[in-house]
Amino acid sequence: MAAIDLTSFSAAILDTDGVVTDTARVHAAAWKHVFDTFLHGRSEPFDIRDDYLRHVDGRPRFDGIRTFLASRGLSLPEDGPPGTASVRSLAAEKDALFTAHLRRHGVAAYPGSVALLRELRRRGARIAAVSVSRHCRQVLTAAAVAHLFDEVVDGRDAGRIGLPGRPDPALLLEAARRLGVPPERTVVVENTLPGLEAARRGGFGLVIDVDRDGTRATPSGPDRGLAMADLVVSDLDEVSVTGRVPATTR
């Protein structure tokens, strides 16, 4: 079993969607609906296992739209009159679909992730949640896990203080700064390729990839996610915690 040794690390930063909560698939489905509507008559439908993972997953909404459209040789203006397609209008459509799903169906946290969070806290680690989504706090509250985090850094924070999107490590480094723990003593748990690259570029001490469907564990995966992570697991119930953070370093 993989292990986090809290004699070597004092904090953990976890991505929210797909790591803590079962919302990555909701984001993906919303993007597919928006892109398929826009692509009709222009290009092939949006593929969740390829297009979403390569171009959208883990990126801020506007960046994901630009990156995906560029992969199809398409582009849109940033903004435009009502009723016309633009980067902003596609982002707004996706946002409306995602929030409507939250209102109707709520959100669940992965039991393995909740158990790991509780054990990390019990042993003295400080913990932050990160997300490029503006709905991170709403999602954590709906999943009844907000109390397990000392800090949250999300898309609203990134926009307010001007943090660049992943794979730039700025979001993760801001979370570590708020936790008061240097990156080399911080564990990062991610499930997107931009997130894994950001963790590696940020100099974090241990990078764990939660690859729930095994996409990056095969040669045909969309990228070499294995090369960017120290550990790859299918669920956080595969990760144990050893040691304890000394009170003087909390």
Q: Which residues pair with 243 in a beta bridge?
A: none
d(CA 57, CA 102): 19
Q: Which of 54, 59, 93 is nearest to 72 (CA)?
A: 54
What length does the chain have? 250
**Burial class, 223, CB count within 10 angstroms (exposed 0-12 / middle 13-18 / buried 19+):** middle
Q: Is 237 a catalytic residue?
A: no
Alpha helices per DSSP H over the chain: 24-39, 61-71, 87-105, 111-122, 136-142, 155-161, 170-179, 193-201, 225-228
- Cβ-in-10-Å burial (0-12, 13-18, 19+) of 78 comes to exposed
Distance CA 78, CA 92 (A): 12
What tokens were used for 7? 């004699």
165 DSSP assignment: P
Q: How far apart are CA 231 and CA 79, in angstroms?
A: 41
Report the alpha-carbon distance of residue 226 to residue 221 in Å, rounded: 10
Catalytic residue among 5, 15, 36, 211: 15
15 is catalytic: yes
Q: Which residues are catalytic?
A: 15, 17
